[in-house]
């Protein structure tokens, strides 16, 4: 039986982009207005009231457009700005939009004049962009909007989707009340509350699934994606007195952060990354039981605080700062993030140092194994058996381990991973992206 066709109904403001476009337009058009701060606040309030379902969308829209005092020149500036403000996880997955151009719809209470130039870069078809339109005077001043457009009305997204009569499985992704209304009305099958930019509790609590990134949405629905495993699912445990700026580097990378005073037993089995304040320790039993632990960042000298030899044998990469240099406020977390994102072990304390470029349109596989003869031959035999073309391959060793990174450009099946994991002397294997 053929699989039902899927459609992806995606919001624009605070979802496809990191910002609310009308708020940003106001900051451009009212730049020299004497009461700009008070007007900005009013516009933001009207936006939030509508997003939270406290004010009808049509009333919110009318009030905001009235306050804008914008023209076509301001719009050009806005478009340039919005192109730099596309949400990171959407930008990262541009390939998905190219492959699913027929199934992706942008449905927004915003305006085509600024939405179309931004999303068109991502191969989203103009006929699949549904939004409001401005009314302008002959000299380009924005004075109103098309009131006949259903998207300018309360419940506009529901009315539009009812009219479109799409047949198949419909997924909605957005941050606001109008996105949830599609689920409430029964038009879409699932509503995903997108929280990469803003989390509205009134919406999050009603969602079928909370998606902190577009990677998470793709992962949950087993769709092709730029990274193999969403970062928001990787638990990063911060232990001890750590500067908030240090933590923010890993938080901004999209990881799930827990800040604790000690390594609590309940986190041992699930933790993927540990960031330790200077003076903190991890005992051998905890290391042995931390099966998902990939890397440790130590904000000081790790000697006598962590068993580096055991970490190496377990395939855990350690970054520390033996000289206690003040630069470790960002130095250590950046090294940890770089390892998680590219596999680079540059300046690690216990692994062969490997720094390598990211290769576009490829999949990166990491294989950590005991340093015994013949392992690379076995790895490459597995690739050959699965008809995999190797784009590039890197191997560094120390007396204990071999650290191999392979970039491939072919589609692969899950059996490939099983075969690589089964190679004798394998310590850890993972797919990076």
Read off the pLDDT of residues 340-352 as tens digits, 9 standing for 90 and up: 999 999 999 999 9
Q: Is residue 227 part of a domain?
A: no
Q: Same structural domain for residues 290 and 384? A: no
What is the mean pLDDT of the segment spanning 356-368? 88
Q: Is residue 85 part of a domain?
A: yes
Q: How many domains does the chain have?
A: 3
Q: Kindly state whether residue 314 falls inside one of the protein's structural domains.
A: yes
How confident is residue 409, by pLDDT bands cut at 50, 70 and 90? Answer: confident
Same domain, 74 and 204: yes
Burial (0-12, 13-18, 19+ Cβ within 10 Å), 262 = exposed
pLDDT of 219 higher than 90: yes
Q: Is there a single domain that holds both residue 250 and residue 121? A: no
Q: Do 397 and 254 share a structural domain?
A: no
* CB-based contacts of 79-83 (< 8 A; 24+ apart in sequence): 79/114, 79/117, 79/118, 81/24, 81/28, 82/17, 82/19, 82/21, 82/24, 82/114, 82/118, 83/117, 83/118, 83/121
- Compute φ and ψ for 305, nearest 5 degrees: -110, -30
Please indicate, yes or no, if residue 110 is contained in any of the structural domains. Answer: yes
Q: Strand 426-431 to strand 256-260: parallel, antiparallel, or no bridges (unpaired)?
A: unpaired
More confident residue, 306 or 323: 306
The whole-chain average pLDDT of the chain stands at 93
pLDDT given at position 325: 76
Instruction: Give, for 188, the enclosing helix (H) or strand (E).
Output: none
Tokens representing 202 are: 């009134």
pLDDT tens sequence across 239-255? 999 999 999 999 988 89
pLDDT of res. 252: 87
Q: What's the pLDDT tens digit per position in 169-196? A: 999 999 999 999 999 999 999 999 999 9
Q: What percent of the chain has pLDDT over 70?
A: 99
Q: Are residues 147 and 56 in the same domain?
A: yes
Answer for the pair 192, 170: CB distance below 8 angstroms, yes or no: no
CA dihedral 240, 246, 247, 250 (to 10 degrees): -130
Q: What is the CATH number of the domain that holds 328?
A: 3.40.50.720
User: Under a CB-based contact definition with an 8 Å cutoff, are residues 409 and 362 in contact?
Assistant: yes
Q: Which 8-state DSSP code applies to residue 133?
A: -
**352 assigned to some structural domain:** no
Q: Does the structure show a pLDDT above 70 at 265?
A: yes
274 Ramachandran zone, left/alpha/beta (phi>0; psi -120 to 50)? beta
The model's confidence at residue 97, banded by pLDDT at 50, 70 and 90, is: very high
Q: Specify the 3-state DSSP secondary structure of 271.
A: strand
Q: pLDDT, tens digit, for every residue of 299-320?
A: 999 999 999 999 999 999 999 9
Which pLDDT band holds residue 85 (cuts at 50, 70, 90)?
A: very high
Q: Which residue has the higher pLDDT, 412 or 201?
A: 201
Kindly tell me if the per-residue pLDDT of 2 is higher than 80.
Answer: no
> Where is pLDDT greater, at 406 or 47?
406
What confidence score (pLDDT) does residue 421 get?
95
Q: What is the domain-level CATH number for residue 19? A: 3.40.50.1000
Q: Are 167 and 266 found together in one domain?
A: no
Nearest to 117 by CA among 4, 272, 246, 12: 12
| pLDDT above 90: residue 226 | no
For residue 303, give both structure tokens.
């000697």
pLDDT of residue 326: 65
- Mean pLDDT within 280-304: 95
Residue with tokens 């701060």: 37
Q: Is residue 278 scored above 60 in pLDDT?
A: yes
What pLDDT score does 357 carry? Answer: 83
**Same domain as 157, residue 18:** yes
Domain extent for 147: 6-221
pLDDT for 328: 62
Residue 351 inside a domain? The answer is: no
Task: Identify which of 403, 417, 399, 411 has the alpha carbon closest to the alpha carbon of residue 361.
Answer: 411
Q: Let me know whether 90 and 215 are in one domain.
A: yes
Predicted confidence at residue 391, as pLDDT, reads: 92
Are 8 and 104 a contacting pair, CB within 8 Å?
Answer: yes
Does one domain contain both 88 and 141?
yes
What is the arithmetic mean of pLDDT over 368-375?
95
- Asked if residue 312 and residue 400 are part of one domain, the reply reads no
pLDDT recorded at residue 403: 96
pLDDT in tens, 152-163: 988 999 999 999
- Chain centre to alpha carbon of residue 157: 25
CA distance readout (Å), 106 to 7, 22, 128, 173, 267: 11, 17, 6, 10, 39
């Amino acid at each position: 039986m053929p699989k039902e066709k899927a459609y992806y109904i995606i919001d624009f403001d605070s979802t496809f982009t990191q910002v609310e476009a009308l708020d940003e337009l106001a900051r451009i058009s009212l730049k020299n207005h004497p009461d700009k701060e008070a007007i900005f606040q009013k516009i933001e309030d009207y936006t939030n009231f509508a997003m939270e379902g406290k004010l009808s969308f049509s009333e919110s829209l009318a009030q905001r457009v009235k306050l804008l005092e914008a023209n076509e020149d301001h719009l050009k500036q806005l478009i340039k700005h919005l192109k730099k403000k596309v949400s990171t996880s959407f930008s990262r997955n541009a390939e998905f939009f190219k492959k699913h151009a027929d199934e992706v719809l942008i449905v927004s209470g915003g305006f085509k004049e600024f939405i179309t130039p931004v999303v068109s870069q991502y191969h989203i078809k103009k006929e699949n962009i549904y939004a409001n339109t401005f009314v302008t005077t002959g000299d380009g001043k924005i004075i109103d909007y098309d009131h006949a457009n259903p998207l300018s009305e309360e419940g506009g997204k529901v009315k539009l989707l009812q009219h479109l009569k799409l047949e198949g499985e419909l997924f909605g992704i957005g941050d606001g009340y109008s996105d949830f209304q599609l689920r409430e009305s029964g038009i879409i099958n699932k509503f995903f509350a997108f929280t990469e930019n803003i989390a509205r509790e009134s919406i999050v609590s009603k969602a079928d699934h909370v998606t902190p990134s577009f990677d998470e949405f793709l992962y949950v629905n087993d769709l092709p994606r730029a990274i193999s495993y969403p970062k928001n699912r990787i638990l990063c445990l911060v232990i001890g007195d750590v500067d908030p700026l240090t933590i923010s580097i890993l938080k901004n990378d999209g990881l799930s952060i827990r800040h604790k005073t000690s390594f609590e037993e309940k986190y041992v089995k699930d933790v993927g990354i540990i960031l330790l304040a200077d003076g903190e320790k991890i005992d051998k039993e905890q290391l042995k039981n931390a099966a998902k632990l990939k890397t440790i960042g130590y904000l000081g000298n790790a000697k006598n605080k962590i068993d580096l030899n055991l970490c190496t044998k377990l395939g855990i990469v350690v970054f520390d700062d033996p000289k206690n240099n003040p630069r470790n406020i960002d130095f250590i977390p950046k090294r940890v993030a770089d390892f998680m994102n590219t596999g680079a072990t540059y300046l690690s304390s216990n692994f062969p140092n490997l720094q390598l470029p990211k290769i576009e349109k490829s999949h990166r596989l990491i294989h950590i194994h005991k340093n015994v003869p013949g392992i690379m031959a076995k790895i490459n035999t597995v690739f050959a058996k699965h008809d995999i073309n190797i784009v590039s391959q890197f191997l560094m060793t120390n007396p204990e381990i071999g650290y191999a990174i392979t970039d491939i450009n072919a589609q692969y099946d899950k059996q490939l991973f099983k075969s690589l994991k089964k190679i004798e002397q394998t310590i850890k294997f993972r797919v990076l992206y």
